[in-house]
Homo-oligomer: A and B are copies of this chain.
Amino acid sequence: MTYCVALKLKNGIVCLSDTRTNAGIDTISKYKKMFTWTIPGDRVITMMTAGNLAITQAVISLLNENIEHSEDGIETLYTAPTLFRVAEIVGDAMRIVMNRYGPGLSQAGESALSSIVVAGQRAGGEMRLFHVYSAGNFIEATEDTPYFQIGEHKYGKPILDRVIDDQTPLNVGITAAFLSMDSTLRSNLSVGMPLDLAVMKKDVIGFDQLRRIEEGDEMWAQMSEEWSAALRGAFEQMTLIDV
């Protein structure tokens, strides 16, 4: 499986993804699920993928192929005038790939379900965060629901529900995304390190942070331990019920 989370906050966007992929529990591999495109000062785009790996890889490859052959006049991630148009281009690529492989997968009884989170900003535009579905349709994060999760989203949802709103500062959002991932890693073996983190500050039109967090990363271990201790402390303070 997969766990990816993206938060659109007042001062920026945070994207965090794991790298574990499995076909059955005895075929586990490591695949990057975060992909980025940037023309500094002009546009910054981060995508994260979940679902059928062959489908999402094909979509990402198609998007990159079109960039390489953009002399053909095809609109690409690097030429789209807005982030909304970027989401449409991703949706179009999804539909092309699904039309090609969906029926065969369906016949084989395999799921073709896939989803892609698209986040970023175009110079002069607002920060945008979209969730593109298998049919190529998509929804956008709003003030009411400023985050998207794809993949194994349930373990890490309670902490987001408690902490995140659209006014959350960026550093608080990063910590919440980390703790959401930490809970998921602890409870579900199909989600695993290393992680990929992308932070896009508002109006910077570039990456403030773009890095891989490896197994054994000191910052991560410290955060994870600190949260364990804080949770234990919080739990120990609870009034217990007499029995």
Contacts and interface: CB of A to CB of B under 8 A. Distances in A.
A230 to B, nearest CB: 4
Interface stretch (A32-40, A59-67, A123-131, A235-243): A235-243
**Copies assembled:** 2
A157 B187 contact: yes
B201 A232 contact: no
A80 B161 CA distance: 46
A175 B243 CA distance: 11
Interface residues of A, number: 45
Contact of A234 (B154, B155, B187, B230): B230
Interface string A75-97: 00000000000000000000000
Contacts of A179: 235, 238
Given A161-B186, A161-B187, A232-B162, A240 B172 contact: yes
Given A219-B241, A243-B174, A157 B155 contact: yes
B243 A171 contact: yes
A208 B155 contact: no
Nearest to A187: B157
27 contacts: A12-B243, A154-B154, A157-B187, A158-B183, A158-B186, A159-B231, A161-B186, A161-B187, A162-B186, A162-B232, A162-B235, A163-B232, A163-B235, A171-B243, A174-B240, A175-B238, A175-B240, A176-B235, A178-B241, A201-B243, A209-B243, A219-B241, A223-B239, A226-B239, A227-B234, A227-B238, A231-B231
